[in-house]
Amino acid sequence: MVDLLKNIFTWWNQKTFGTMIYTFLFGKFVGKDEFDNKYYENLKLKKRWVIYKSEIDASKIPVSWYLWMHNSDQSPPKVNFKKYPWEKEHVENLTGTSKAYKPKGSLSRKEIRVNKKYESWKN
């Protein structure tokens, strides 16, 4: 019940009521990625969209589906396509979270820094 109300009245929780209706009437299911995001398209309007499994965040779209979404690749990606050994797994954007990258010397790190690069000449 709560999920239904979230879908009707908010846009940041998965899909809205309007998106559900539009997808039902005009959407053709194209595929699903490894994060269970579902991809649809409308062939008449040449429009493509994604319905996220959880919280809406554009960085949760893998590269192969990103290319399809932006019409750089006309055919949807294969389900089990070969990955090279040097390719890393897709990670969403972690900026603003506790898992964000904080390089050495960053002010947001929790370590105490006492590195003075100068000596004061006044005593």
Query: Using one digit for the tens of pLDDT, what is the confidence trace for 7-51?
Result: 667 666 667 778 888 889 999 999 998 888 999 999 888 899 999
28 lies in a domain? Answer: yes
119 lies in a domain? Answer: no
Q: Which residue has the tokens 């797994």?
A: 89
d(C-alpha 75, C-alpha 97), whole Å: 34
91 lies in a domain? Answer: yes
Q: Provide CB contacts within 8 A for 78, sequence distance 6+.
A: none
Q: Provide CB contacts within 8 A for 79, sequence distance 6+.
A: 31
Q: What is the mean pLDDT of residues 92-120?
A: 78
15 lies in a domain? Answer: yes
- Structural domain span for residue 79: 1-111
Please tell me the predicted confidence (pLDDT) of residue 20: 83
Please tell me the predicted confidence (pLDDT) of residue 112: 66
Residues 68-77 pLDDT 10s: 989 887 888 8
Check whether 58 has a pLDDT greater than 70.
Answer: yes
Strand partners, 32: 38
Please tell me the predicted confidence (pLDDT) of residue 80: 66
pTM more than 0.85: no
- Domain count for the chain: 1
- Which of 24-28, 104-108, 113-117 has the largest mean confidence? 24-28
Q: Where are the alpha helices (DSSP H) in the chain?
A: 2-9, 17-26, 63-69
46 lies in a domain? Answer: yes
121 lies in a domain? Answer: no
120 lies in a domain? Answer: no
Q: What is the mean pLDDT of residues 80-88?
A: 79
DSSP string, 80-95: TPPPPTTPPPP----T
d(C-alpha 103, C-alpha 84), whole Å: 28
14 lies in a domain? Answer: yes
